Amino acid sequence: MNLRLLPILVLALLASSCAPSPVAPAAAGVAPMLQAPAGQPFEPWLKAERERVARQREAAQQRYRDEELVCWRRFAVNDCLGEAKRERRGQLDVLRQQDLQLNALERERRTAQHLRQIEQKAAPAPGAPSVERRQ
């Protein structure tokens, strides 16, 4: 083996080990698609979902606080804290995506309701004479 290529090979190996590895979708914590239940009132479901997300967010924050206390008792504090922060960030990202989905569902629902109101106002009343304009 040529000794001049050895430093290049070592640098290439070091660079590849420092590169971030791709995260599998299951490990990334992909947020499940939220769908309003058919046949049930939307508002109570939305309120319950928002409360569920808030509870999960608070639980993630509490887990982080607990892990933070454990980390301060270890020798490698920074590494432990970094791992705890990454874990919390992953959990909070999933919850944020669920929040965004709930907001989108609520916007769609309000838009549809607003369009129905506009259509009802624009529709002529039954039995009312139709007015045609001649040009």
pLDDT tens digits in sequence order for the chain, 135 residues long: 556 655 665 555 555 554 444 443 344 456 667 777 777 788 999 999 999 999 999 999 999 999 999 999 988 889 999 999 999 999 999 999 999 999 999 999 999 999 999 999 888 766 666 656 656
* Residue 8 domain flag: no
Q: 3-state secondary structure string, the chain?
A: CCCCCHHHHHHHHHHHHHCCCCCCHHHHCCCCCCCCCCCCCHHHHHHHHHHHHHHHHHHHHHHHHHHHHHHCCCCCHHHHHHHHHHHHHHHHHHHHHHHHHHHHHHHHHHHHHHHHHHHHHHCCCCCCCCCCCCC
* Residue 132 domain flag: no
Q: Can you give the pLDDT at residue 124?
A: 72
Q: Can you give the pLDDT at residue 40?
A: 79
Look at the chain and report how many structural domains it folds into: 1
* Residue 101 domain flag: yes
Range of the domain at 75: 40-121
* Residue 95 domain flag: yes
* Residue 104 domain flag: yes
Q: Can you give the pLDDT at residue 67?
A: 95
Q: Can you give the pLDDT at residue 41?
A: 86
* Residue 98 domain flag: yes
pTM: 0.61
d(CA 29, CA 52): 17
Q: Can you give the pLDDT at residue 36?
A: 72
Q: Can you give the pLDDT at residue 25?
A: 39
* Residue 66 domain flag: yes
